[in-house]
Amino acid sequence: MLNALTPQAPDKILALMAAYREDPRDSKIDLGVGVYKDAGGNTPVMRAVKAAERQLVDTQSTKVYTGLAGDPAFAEALSTLVLGPARAADRLACVATPGGTGAIRQGLELVRMASPTARLWLSDPTWPNHPAIAKYLGVPVSDYRYFDAGTGGVDFDGMMADLAGVAVGDVVMLHGCCHNPTGANLTLDQWTTVADLLAARGAVPFVDIAYQGFGDGLEADAAGMRALLTRVPEALVAASCSKNFGIYRERTGLLMAIAASPAQLKVTQGAMSALNRLNFSFPPDHGARVVTMILTDAELRADWAGELEEVRRGMLSLRESLATALRDRVGSDRFGFLAAHRGMFSLLGATPEQVEAMRRDHGIYMVGDSRMNIAGLNAATVPLLADAIVAAGV
Ligand code: HCI
């Protein structure tokens, strides 16, 4: 049986992690996988996470199964953080999932279960796992234009023109904030324009929000998505706690489905819980419990939000220094978009050959499409990257 297997295409981002590890150069710089790193290159456990974990060890009296949907307290706390005033509890079904990827997977399973012919629309470019999971599940995919390589911003006219082709019941994936890989984001006005188009066409938005708090702040990062959610009857939202709580390996995510009416809530919740059961039974609990403890304890929450804000400001200041270093070197604001982008990533706009040259000649590792993890930089490496970008002729 196993001899029938054929080699799987590797995930390009994870393959890059391995290549970086094997590079013997001390001067190497990792701008690859989307993991936050401090100035020393470490990904620390956040203070509030440590405190909650200590408390959990002392007070947890059982590790018996939770429920198929996870602990309802986690769903309530995280959905409130993500949806804010747009949270309509009487239409909201939630399941805890193994990370944000798990939420995407369960969401697409739900789409396929409800509507086997629905087409999934993805931004071009998008996170490679989106098309990979859809393809594996047999969900047909179309792309919509998103990025304007000339300006480093969103090609909104192209996006709207392509989304005009959605059919009733199609699903449109949107990045809630901090677009991965481009770093270019919709304005609040653009979010409402997209929402009105999808509502008019009868298409369902599926928002992937994995970096809330990394762009303009916890509330600001959710504002566009929330505006959209108040304008459409139905929606799916996949949220990840990996980055904003720094609990990558705990696999903590939540799939939310907003039903068109309270009458549809029970069957929607039942379908989502059943999909959890069919795929893994109970979702992981440790990370979810830690997140719940932090969000429901005023002191822990304030400490967590404060540390997240420091992380966010650190990345913004790295963006500013990189844009300034490049302005000094090229004598124009050609790279100004790097300071305008938000979140962990920016798409530099280099060719694959230029990306390869930066890796070969300078030990700088970015994804082949020239996506850079800004958090992989520090004050000492910003000028080295700027020099390498110029030397590669970007
Ligand atoms: C990213 O780098 O885009 C996010 C981290 C990630 C990458 C590949 C697979 C899972 C998660």
Closest approach atom of ligand 1 to CA 181: 3
Q: Which strands, in side-by-side order, build the sheet including 235-240?
A: 92-97, 253-258, 235-240, 204-209, 171-175, 120-124, 141-145
Distance CA 103, CA 112 (A): 14
233 C-alpha to center of ligand 1: Å? 31
Q: Report pLDDT digits (tens) over 348-360.
A: 999 999 999 999 9
For the stretch 217-264, pLDDT in tens is 999 999 999 999 999 999 999 999 999 999 999 999 999 999 999 999
**pLDDT recorded at residue 272:** 99
Catalytic positions, written as ranges: 127, 208, 210, 243
- Residue 62 CB-density burial (10 A; 0-12 exposed, 13-18 middle, 19+ buried): exposed
Residue 271 CA to ligand 1 centre (angstroms)? 27
Atom of ligand 1 nearest to the CA of 33: 2
Q: What is the pLDDT of residue 10?
A: 87
pLDDT at 25 over 90: yes
**Ligand 1 neighbour 34 (Cβ under 6 A):** yes
- pLDDT band, residue 24 (cuts 50/70/90): very high
Angle, alpha carbons 309-315-319 (nearest 5°): 140
Whole-number Å distance, alpha carbon 34 to ligand 1 midpoint, is 6
Domains, the chain, ordered by start: 10-44+313-392 (3.90.1150.10), 65-296 (3.40.640.10)
Residue 52 vs residues 300, 305, 311: alpha-carbon distances, Å: 8, 14, 20
Q: Is 127 in the pocket of ligand 1 (CB under 6 A)?
A: yes
**Residue 390's closest CA among 318, 327, 321?**
327
> pLDDT-derived band of residue 11, with 50, 70 and 90 as boundaries?
confident
* pLDDT, position 39: 93
Q: Which run of H or E residues covers position 174?
A: strand 171-175
Report the separation in Å between the CA atom of 32 and the middle of ligand 1, taken as the mean of its atom positions: 9
The structure tokens listed for 163 are: 């989304």
Tell me if 367 CB under 6 Å of ligand 1.
Answer: no
Structure confidence at residue 167 as a pLDDT band (50, 70, 90): very high
- Beta-carbon count within 10 A of 28 CB: 14
pLDDT of residue 232: 98
Q: What Rg, from alpha-carbon coordinates, does the chain have?
A: 21
Our mutation pick for probing the ligand 1 site, out of 43, 104, 127, 209, counting the most ligand atoms within 8 A of Cβ, is 127
pLDDT confidence of residue 385: 98
Q: What CA–CA distance (Å, rounded) separates 302 from 181?
A: 30
Predicted ipTM > 0.85: yes
Q: Which atom belonging to ligand 1 lies closest to the Cα atom of 101?
A: 10
Of all protein residues, the one whose alpha carbon is nearest to atom 2 of ligand 1 is: 34
Residue owning the nearest CA to atom 5 of ligand 1: 34
Task: Output the CA 290–ligand 1 centroid distance in Å.
Answer: 22
